[in-house]
Structure 1
Amino acid sequence: MFVANYMTKNPVTVSADTSVDEATGLMKMNHFRRLPVMKDGKVIGIISDRDISRIAPSPATTLSKYEINSLLAKMPVTDVMSAPIVSVSDEATVEEAALLMCNNKIGGMPVVSSVGVLVGIITETDIFRVFVKVMGLASGKMRVTLDFKDKIGATKEIADVFAKHDLNIDSFVSFNTPNGDSEAIIRGNFPGIEKIKVDLEHLGYKVSHITKIGTL
């Protein structure tokens, strides 16, 4: 899963001398939440609806609507944009992009090529779409949660139980919990789940939750 395959290509951009008023209009018209700001072919910042809301007048302002619009029409985006920017390479994985956005508390960022040219933009919505696709959520899957003590060979032992029942696992994710134990999330089409549950618990894997997500 690479950023280049999930980003929005050829994003709408604004130049450094674009007014805040014009940028706001572009975002509203195209239903965007952010626009890369360009200068001399390079991304120098990004302006978002959050940046614009920071300079929006409060109800207590003494300025008239005409005066406010006049000010925003003159103010360049460089006065309010976020800079320096956090960007990601088009060769990076989606996981790397998600980690960057999480660590920097941002909802989207420009995607640049190896020579620094803007080639796209990736947002939290794109990440959510990848998550839904990878997990097969839209097609309807059963989700089984297992709690267990971490041990070598646990993944194979769990997979063997499903194989014994001639069932295919669509996705398998395991991770450590805060208390030091492990948890596994398994998704797939699992008829006869009660028999599988008995076999898993016999091996020491507690089935703590079963649900179905999607429309299948």
Structure 2
Amino acid sequence: MLVSNWMSKNVITVDAKGSMQDAMDLLKKNDIRMLPVMKKGKLVGIVTDRDLKKASASDATTLEIHELLYLLTKIKVKDIMTKDVITVPPDFTAEETAEVLQQNKISGAPVVDSKGMLVGTITQTDLFRVLISLTGVAKGGIQFGLQVEDRPGSIKEVADIIRTFGGRMVSILTSYDDVPEGYRKVYIRMRRIDRSDLQKLIQELESKAGLLYMVDHKKNVRKLFEEKIS
């Protein structure tokens, strides 16, 4: 999934010569936390709600309210913005973007194309939407977490069992985190499983994999199996 498919394309920006009050008003009006800063049509910085709160707190300690309001109109965005802007290209994948945000401890980034043009913004909220879409959680159903051998065909064996019970796979995700060598974790979300056959399905799955957990979203049933895995 590419950034271009999930970014916000209607970008709200602020001019570098704008006031701190202008930036605060834009953030509040549009219910956003980040503003790309522009100068003559080019991206020159970024200002966040955190930057504005920090600047307000440092300058407001000894001021009366009318003095503070006056100050907010005089401080320029260019004086408080972050100039070394971390950006991502529109052809980055969602996971690459998540890694950039995590490594730099930021909540979002401007999206800039190969010509240096600002074409969007991508935030943690957008990446949450990607996660919801990838996992299919909005469709409900049942999800199993399993630990399988890391070999060709191991996931197919599990999927085939689910199909024999009439299950339709909504999503299949895998991970190599926190598993013994030679294994991987698999997370399968499915629909159309007859709940009366659920215990039989669990027994069949246990013959091919180590069960970690099961979540039945429709019934709000959650069961842990992880302690059974050696």
**TM-score if structure 1 supplies the norm length?**
0.90
Structure 2 gap segments, 5+ residues each? 221-230
Q: Take 1:175 and 1:134, find their aligned partners in 2: how far apart are those partners?
A: 14
Deviations 1:84-135 (A, max 9, x none): 1111111222222222111111111111122011111111111111111222
Aligned counterpart, 1:201: 206
Q: Take 1:176 and 1:102, find their aligned partners in 2: how far apart are those partners?
A: 19
> What CA RMSD, in Å, does the superposition of the two structures yield over aligned residues?
2.2
Q: Is the 8 A contact 1:3 1:93 kept in 2?
A: yes
**Equivalent position SS for 2:137:** coil
Q: Is the 8 A contact 2:179 2:185 kept in 1?
A: no
Larger CA deviation: 147-156 vs 122-131? 147-156
TM-aligned CA deviation for residue 59 of structure 1 = 11
Deviations 1:138-166 (A, max 9, x none): 12121111134433432122122123333
Aligned counterpart, 1:85: 85
Aligned counterpart, 1:212: 216
Residues 100 and 59 (structure 1), Cα distance of their counterparts in 2 relative to 1, 3 Å cut: closer
Higher RCO by CA contacts (8 Å cutoff, separation 6 or greater): 1
Aligned counterpart, 1:182: 184
Q: Take 2:218 and 2:94, find their aligned partners in 1: how far apart are those partners?
A: 23
Q: Report % sequence identity.
A: 37
Aligned counterpart, 1:70: 70
Report the AA paired with residue 194 of structure 1.
Q
**Equivalent position SS for 2:46:** strand
Q: Is the 8 A contact 2:148 2:155 kept in 1?
A: no
Residues 214 and 48 (structure 1), Cα distance of their counterparts in 2 relative to 1, 3 Å cut: farther
Q: How many matched pairs? A: 215
Q: Take 1:127 and 1:30, find their aligned partners in 2: how far apart are those partners?
A: 19
Q: Take 1:207 and 1:201, find their aligned partners in 2: how far apart are those partners?
A: 6
- The 5 A counterparts of 1:92-107 are 92-107=92-107
Q: Take 1:139 and 1:41, find their aligned partners in 2: how far apart are those partners?
A: 42
**Equivalent position SS for 2:178:** coil
Q: Take 1:27 and 1:60, find their aligned partners in 2: how far apart are those partners?
A: 20
Report the AA paired with residue 107 of structure 1.
S
Aligned counterpart, 2:53: 53
- Which structure 1 residue ranges, 4+ long, deviate > 6 Å from structure 2? none
Q: Take 1:106 and 1:214, find their aligned partners in 2: how far apart are those partners?
A: 35
Q: Take 1:6 and 1:60, find their aligned partners in 2: how far apart are those partners?
A: 38
Q: Is the 8 A contact 1:139 1:215 kept in 2?
A: no
TM-aligned CA deviation for residue 60 of structure 1 = 8.4
Aligned counterpart, 1:30: 30
Q: Is the 8 A contact 1:147 1:182 kept in 2?
A: yes
Residues 47 and 193 (structure 1), Cα distance of their counterparts in 2 relative to 1, 3 Å cut: same
**Equivalent position SS for 2:17:** coil
